[in-house]
A and B are shown apart, each in its own frame.
Chain A
Amino acid sequence: MRLRELKLQGFRNLQDLRVEPSTGFNVIWGDNAQGKTNLLEAIYLLGQLKSFRSNRRETLIKIGRDEARLSAGICMSGVCHRFELLLTREGQSADIDGKRIVNAAEMLGRLKTVLFTSEEISLIRGNPGGRRSLLDRAIFQTNSGFLQIARDFQRCLKQRNRLLKLAAEDAQLRPWSQKLAESGARLRQAREIFLQRLRPRLRDCYRTICGGTEEVDLGFSERIGLTTDDLLAELHRTAARERQYQQTLAGPHRDDLQFRIDGRPLKNYGSQGQQRSFLLAFKTAQVLDLEEQTRQSPVLLLDDLNSELDSFRRNAFFEFLLAHRGQVFLTTTDISSLRERDLNPIRCFEIKAGKVQPDPSMDS
């Protein structure tokens, strides 16, 4: 999967731009607060239709402009497509090859990207919701049916919670419990299938890329049941408390995905360095899994990772990147250390006050 051309108009602080990235490495460099991450964000948006930094669309539109227009030429499986995303304050619309996409799910996840950003460390440290979303976003890229499964479950959950708020009688609650258990079991199964594939890769990546000697693992905190009947039994056990708290207390929306190191929660027992390594190993394992499942290399977006990693991990990680056949975009403030590496083919873009200038001296 390759991004051949990227055109941005009215996006964030960036001046209108058009770039033709390298098929290999693309280094976006410049001082802090110049707009480097905004470029990564634009690419991410074209794949996910959602930003990784802000849920508010209006913040994506340049001050003084009415709309932001993102356009990209993307080659996948030998065919080039044009993806366009138009953001206005009222809403967003997407076109592929000039045809309007009515159902966002048609575009969502077509451009597969894997984002590496140290900001996601907060997901490891934070509440279970963040870790679940890290997992669910990864699953969605390999399993297009997962979106529908997740949507059905969310819908059931909202409907059932409303009934609990209304203190509805059991006869009314029962069909929603059944539907919640069915869709919830499907969601848990999809997560478990993904985790089973990811675990061995995660261990491997942690050892080879991060040089960690600890045993790492990830999984849900207690033995959670994977069948509809299991979930129905859980709902039955929590029934009295559900009435009290007026919300659904058992199900995949409450399952705690634990990142573990030597059998203990990484969140409480891992050092900062171990947490960073874990995240890096998780993402790397995700890339490898995605390549195997889709037979295509995702576009890697690395936000300021260079400064995060100590030199050992940096070397092993760059070895992984060099072996990776896909396209890489990375931001950095320190271009000199990258010059020493044999990254090829490479193209550099310097960003100054929102303005992008390709640097011909670094082109190969």
Chain B
Amino acid sequence: MLDSIPSFARLVAELAKFPGIGKKTATRLAFFLLRQPRAEAEALAGAILELKEKIGFCSRCFHITESDPCPICTDPGRDEGLLCVVEQPQDLIAIERSRSFRGRYHVLQGALSPLDGIGPDQLRFSELLQRLKGGAVRELLVATNFTVEGDATALYLAGQVRPLGIRVTRLAHGIPTGSDLEFVDDATVNRAVEGRRDL
């Protein structure tokens, strides 16, 4: 049906490539854009192009940035001795949002997964080791995801970093704050019981 309106069909096809967006939602979005004033469409198109033109990876921490090194790496108010390792930029953003960490970061850009052909060489491991050999870091906080792959990555890191005499810590995990125990899934409760602590 859309074949008779090629420009519309093309937009739908492009939008449907987005994660979590199927053909139905893509069609809805396309109709929405069609109704929008031209300036709005131009603003969106411009924003997308600007994203591709301006954003790159920080050469120090490999977070996404418009300036290299990134504002976090150049912020003088941060503790040089604390380094937090995450898998992806969005993980860094989640920790920043909490305002609980005032050290610096290193984004691995993935986790170890031999099945997907991802080993240390495919991640920003050697760059991390270089940074650590600089000597300023006292503690490495490993904040990779709590998946099988994230855990294995953390263990690999610990094995590589401990010989350097740097303390390696891991994010705690268990029951989410502010949640009722009764609504937490079994596996999480299980882990929380296993990882219980003295009061």
Asked if residues A145 and B186 are in contact (CB atoms below 8 Å), the reply is: yes
Asked if residues B112 and A175 are in contact (CB atoms below 8 Å), the reply is: yes
- Name which residue of chain B comes closest to A157, CB basis: B148
B126 at the interface (CB under 8 A from A): no
Most buried by B among A152, A159, A166, A175: A175
Beyond A145-B187, A156-B148, whether A171 also contacts B159 by CB under 8 A is: yes
**Distance in angstroms between the alpha carbons of A158 and B160 in the assembled complex:** 23
- Name which residue of chain A comes closest to B113, CB basis: A159
Q: How large is the interface on A (under 10, 10 to 19, 20 to 34, 35 or more residues)?
A: 20 to 34
Asked if residues A163 and B114 are in contact (CB atoms below 8 Å), the reply is: yes
Beyond A156-B148, A179-B155, whether A148 also contacts B187 by CB under 8 A is: yes
Instruction: Tell me what chain A mostly uses at the interface: helix, strand, loop, or mixed.
Output: helix
Beyond A175-B153, A176-B152, whether A162 also contacts B159 by CB under 8 A is: no
A168 at the interface (CB under 8 A from B): yes
Q: Which residues of A contact B152 (CB under 8 A)?
A: 156, 159, 175-176, 178-179
- Name which residue of chain A comes closest to B187, CB basis: A148
Min CB distance A218 to B, Å, is 26
Residue in A144, A155, A171 whose CB lies within 8 Å of B186? A144
Asked if residues A175 and B156 are in contact (CB atoms below 8 Å), the reply is: yes
B149 at the interface (CB under 8 A from A): yes
**Distance in angstroms between the alpha carbons of A148 and B148 in the assembled complex:** 11
Asked if residues A159 and B114 are in contact (CB atoms below 8 Å), the reply is: yes
Asked if residues B149 and A174 are in contact (CB atoms below 8 Å), the reply is: no
Asked if residues B156 and A172 are in contact (CB atoms below 8 Å), the reply is: yes
**Distance in angstroms between the alpha carbons of A178 and B120 in the assembled complex:** 17
**Distance in angstroms between the alpha carbons of A266 and B154 in the assembled complex:** 45
Min CB distance B141 to A, Å, is 18
Beyond A144-B186, A175-B155, whether A155 also contacts B119 by CB under 8 A is: no
Beyond A145-B190, A155-B148, A172-B120, whether A162 also contacts B156 by CB under 8 A is: no
**Distance in angstroms between the alpha carbons of A162 and B186 in the assembled complex:** 30
What total of A-B pairs shows CB separation below 8 Å? Answer: 52
Min CB distance A184 to B, Å, is 12
**Distance in angstroms between the alpha carbons of A174 and B162 in the assembled complex:** 14
Asked if residues B115 and A159 are in contact (CB atoms below 8 Å), the reply is: yes
**Distance in angstroms between the alpha carbons of A174 and B159 in the assembled complex:** 9
1/0 contact string of B45-66 vs chain A (CB within 8 Å): 0000000000000000000000
Q: Which residues of A contact B148 (CB under 8 A)?
A: 152, 155-156, 159, 179, 183
Beyond A145-B190, A171-B159, A175-B159, whether A162 also contacts B153 by CB under 8 A is: no
Asked if residues A166 and B159 are in contact (CB atoms below 8 Å), the reply is: no
B68 at the interface (CB under 8 A from A): no
Asked if residues B155 and A178 are in contact (CB atoms below 8 Å), the reply is: yes
**Distance in angstroms between the alpha carbons of A166 and B114 in the assembled complex:** 9
Residue in B113, B156, B186 whose CB lies within 8 Å of A174? B156
Q: Which residues of A contact B80 (CB under 8 A)?
A: none
Asked if residues B155 and A158 are in contact (CB atoms below 8 Å), the reply is: no
Q: Which residues of A contact B187 (CB under 8 A)?
A: 145, 148
Q: Which residues of B contact A174 (CB under 8 A)?
A: 155-156, 159
Beyond A155-B148, A159-B148, A179-B152, whether A172 also contacts B119 by CB under 8 A is: yes
**Distance in angstroms between the alpha carbons of A174 and B119 in the assembled complex:** 13
Residue in A148, A159, A166, A183 whose CB lies within 8 Å of B149? A159
Most buried by B among A144, A156, A172, A183: A172
Asked if residues A168 and B119 are in contact (CB atoms below 8 Å), the reply is: yes
Min CB distance A104 to B, Å, is 14
Q: Which residues of B contact A163 (CB under 8 A)?
A: 114
- Name which residue of chain A comes closest to B152, CB basis: A175
* CB pairs A–B below 8 angstroms (19 shown): A145-B186, A148-B186, A148-B190, A155-B148, A156-B148, A159-B115, A162-B114, A163-B114, A166-B114, A172-B156, A175-B112, A175-B151, A175-B152, A176-B152, A178-B152, A178-B155, A179-B151, A179-B152, A183-B148
List 16 additional A-B contacts (Cβ < 8 Å) besides A172-B112, A174-B159. Answer: A144-B186, A145-B186, A148-B186, A152-B148, A158-B115, A159-B149, A160-B114, A162-B114, A168-B114, A171-B156, A172-B119, A172-B156, A174-B156, A175-B159, A179-B148, A179-B151
